[in-house]
Structure 1
Amino acid sequence: MRLFVGLDVSSFDMKGCILDQEGSKVDTFTVSNDLPGATVLKERILGLAKGRKVESVKIGLESTSVYSFHPSMFLHYDEDLKVFDTQVFVINPKQIANFKKSYSDMNKTDEIDAFVIADYVRFGRNQMSIVKESQYVALQQLTRSRYHLVKMMTKEKQHFLQHLNFKCSNFSHEVDSSAFGNAMMDLFLERYSLEELAQMPLDELAAFLQEHGKNRFSDPDKVATSIQRAVRSSYRLDKVVEDSMDLLLGTSIELIRSFQKQIKEIDKAITRLMTGLSQTLETIPGIGPVYAAGIIAEIGQIERFEDESKIAKYAGLYWRKHQSGRFTAEDTSLSRQGNEYLRYYLVEAANSVRRQIPEYREFYQKKCLEVPKHQHKRALVLTARKLVRLVDALLRKRQVFAQERCVKI
């Protein structure tokens, strides 16, 4: 006999429903979402399992941020439950919502949701167990936090450019240098007015850039000239507005630098953890410890996936088929579902790898030429999908990368 447990988890409690292999309700209950409540849940499952000669227990929970993490790990690691070949599945809520649509006239309550989750697990629709080792969990928290910091920094950079366009409307057109370089940001922090920048001696401005840019400008005079050209051709602002823009630019710069500092600290922590983890992804040219960590943290044990196509689908790197009768659509959109963190790190890694490995560079260029619009974005996603095959092969076979054995598409 087999038991299927569905748990609807909230910050306060867990609503449970236990079904047998025929789909009949064996038990329903509510326990608190804490260690005592999880212990009661465990004892309840064990009592039913022992009394019915149960061969296996499958437990399903929706992925509800931190609320499902602790109970899933508690149930997965429990030695008493392992006797009954217990498996724990953390399921995408969208999958449960879609599955629930097959039931007609069903209300939305926590008790009903627990039943639907149990029935979903009973049908065997979810085959992937949770990530096991603590190293993967630790890496996952770090790489996901880094992802959110990068997103916030990107958004702040957009705000910065918007404010910069107010202050110096021609900067982006005239200046052939990043506005986010250390020298440029220090220049904006000084809160020079446009007139001051326009009248500043060229050699003084060039010396400022070279000093704050740590001598990284190959031609500081040329950059200084372009800045003054942009300043002189830009619209002038009222002093009140310009002062406001200076304040906002300074605030954005401080935020961006703070994000950069925190990302560096997280990168150091990721690198330390990766030194103790056996993996071969870093042998791929273009993939360092951060990108490797982001991929490994979300994949976990490669054995959780049947093959590379399952990894691609888990990451959302697949295109839905649209077919009816003899018609098959050729133009279909990329799935918007999947693990956004894994998709991000795979795409970023692919962008780095295609600059290092000729095969991936040629593949990227080929895909760019296939369409007139969104060439880079489409080609990069397709390159990331190709990279999934290589990642799967190296992790599954525990091999190091070798150009002559590079996985072909």
Structure 2
Amino acid sequence: MDLHKAHHTAVIINCWNERLGEIQIENKPSAFDELMKFVKKHTPKGLTPVYGLEDTGGNGRALAVHLVEKKQIVKEVNSALSYNERKSYATTQKSDSWDAFCIAKVLLARLDELPDANPQDFYWTIGQLVARRNAIVKHAATLKNQLHQQLSYHYPSYKKFFCDIDGKAALAFWEKYPAPYHLESVGVDKLAEILRKASHNTCSTRKAEEILERVKKDGETKRNYQPSRDFLIVNMVQDMKRSRELIKQTEEQLRQVLAETDFKLQSMDGINIVTVAELIAEIGDIRRFPNADKLARFAGIAPVRFSSGGKGKDKASGQGNRVLNAIFHNLAVQQIQVAKGDNKKQRNPVFYEYYQRKLAEGKTKKQALICIMRRLVTIIYSMMKNKTPYMAAALTERKAS
């Protein structure tokens, strides 16, 4: 089946790759029974139909859930396999019907290898919440860049006002005084009072004096259509505040859903509630991986052997789940971090020592980091499989042995 947002196209073939029928249905539950009736009509007595779906987590999820609930055999067909099937012909074709036929051929040829479709609402919901949070975070970052641009017109020295232009005190200031002329009748004491209230007494009278002095040195910035320009800043600030509230609400919803897992991934330094959600959303049911090696290959972390004529070498894989690969990469970088300053405190001494040992063995920084990622896969796999917390002491003992 070739799956799309509005409709799906199904092609039925037999064991000799002969087309038996074709149907296009709408992507809605009421049409799924129509598909099953059509398939049954083309299925000889004594045979069991097998459905091959290319996208069981996106556009085809509703259909996959429906078929699984109806006790049908449903297989996931990797899009890379169907793509290679299309490209294997001398004349390349591209249509819903042809795509569905290529998927059917892959299904028939690799029936014993393809995984069963197992769309679960729990993991899908977590994935949707993570996607929603990421979208809001991206929107907030865009707003911050836009605010930088607008403030540069109004307050030439704005970067020296606050450490972060999107801090609580900063946002309160921009919203109340979007342009310097709003400060003309504002004294130091009044401004200091407003800043202290917004920053929970972090900002002092000295900060108010500093801001007013810099505004005075900047000169006149008021121009035509100033009210409209002021509106832009106030509107952006309000949108940023709303985005932060939405992020908090989404993360709270994630906490409620994740409470059902009983995973203890946050016991490892560097993993917060968002990272936990991202890991679970991409990995899904950990039981579908018989061991950590399978998870590593799924994440594209396990090396791939390239050889010819008896000679070759292992190379980093550019395949696998790239989102999950990026999560493990970021987590690996955090584990080998060293604090700035004189104390040079290591975030995770065990991983840091392991990283330095790999460098001493002649590996590049990239290769050593991949080694960290691979070890993290083993640890996180065990933590999820057994629902146990991270224990640095146990890791140290294993390293010493």
TM-score band (shorter)?
Answer: 0.7 to 0.9
Counterpart contact for 2:180–2:221, Cα < 8 Å: no
1:128-148 superposed Cα distances (whole Å, 9 cap, x missing partner): 444543222222222221121
The corresponding residue for 2:340 is: none
The corresponding residue for 2:262 is: 278
Residue 304, structure 1, aligned to residue 288, structure 2: yes
Name the CA distance, whole Å, in 1 between partners of 2:214 and 2:27.
Answer: 60
Counterpart contact for 1:198–1:228, Cα < 8 Å: no
The corresponding residue for 1:141 is: 128
Q: Highest Rg: 1 or 2?
A: 2
The corresponding residue for 2:152 is: 165
Identify unmatched segments of 5+ residues in structure 1. Answer: 1-6
By how many angstroms is 1:300 displaced? 1.2
Name the CA distance, whole Å, in 2 between partners of 1:380 and 1:155.
Answer: 31
Name the CA distance, whole Å, in 2 between partners of 1:278 and 1:68.
Answer: 29
Q: Following superposition of structure 1 onto structure 2, how do residues 373-384 of structure 1 map, counting pairs within 5 Å? A: none
Distance 1:270 1:308, change over 3 A: same
Distance 1:239 1:31, change over 3 A: closer
By how many angstroms is 1:225 displaced? 5.0
Q: Following superposition of structure 1 onto structure 2, how do residues 215-234 of structure 1 map, counting pairs within 5 Å? A: 215=201, 217=202, 220-221=204-205, 223-224=207-208, 226-228=210-212, 230-232=214-216, 234=218
The corresponding residue for 2:343 is: none
1:279-338 superposed Cα distances (whole Å, 9 cap, x missing partner): 2323323434333122212211113345546545655668999989989899x8x95984
1:133-169 superposed Cα distances (whole Å, 9 cap, x missing partner): 3222222222221121111111111211222222223
- How many equivalent residue pairs? 383
The corresponding residue for 1:36 is: 30
Q: Secondary structure at the match of 1:51?
A: coil
By how many angstroms is 1:115 displaced? 0.9
Name the CA distance, whole Å, in 1 between partners of 2:260 and 2:183.
Answer: 52
Deviates more, 1:244-253 or 1:349-358: 349-358
Name the CA distance, whole Å, in 2 between partners of 1:304 and 1:256.
Answer: 40
Distance 1:361 1:182, change over 3 A: farther
Q: Following superposition of structure 1 onto structure 2, how do residues 335-346 of structure 1 map, counting pairs within 5 Å? A: 335=318, 338=321, 340=323, 342=324
By how many angstroms is 1:186 displaced? 0.9
The corresponding residue for 2:97 is: 111
Residue 259, structure 1, aligned to residue 243, structure 2: yes
Counterpart contact for 2:296–2:377, Cα < 8 Å: yes
Match of 1:193 among 154, 158, 179: 179
Distance 1:210 1:98, change over 3 A: farther
Distance 1:365 1:8, change over 3 A: same
Name the CA distance, whole Å, in 1 between partners of 2:117 and 2:263.
Answer: 19
Distance 1:48 1:192, change over 3 A: closer
Distance 1:361 1:251, change over 3 A: farther
Name the CA distance, whole Å, in 1 between partners of 2:21 and 2:394.
Answer: 54
Match of 1:179 among 165, 173, 180: 165
- TM-score of the pair, normalised by structure 2: 0.76
The corresponding residue for 2:342 is: none
1:76-99 superposed Cα distances (whole Å, 9 cap, x missing partner): 2222x2xxxx2331644x664354
Name the CA distance, whole Å, in 1 between partners of 2:260 and 2:66.
Answer: 24
Counterpart contact for 2:3–2:53, Cα < 8 Å: no
Name the CA distance, whole Å, in 2 between partners of 1:336 and 1:308.
Answer: 17
By how many angstroms is 1:237 displaced? 2.7
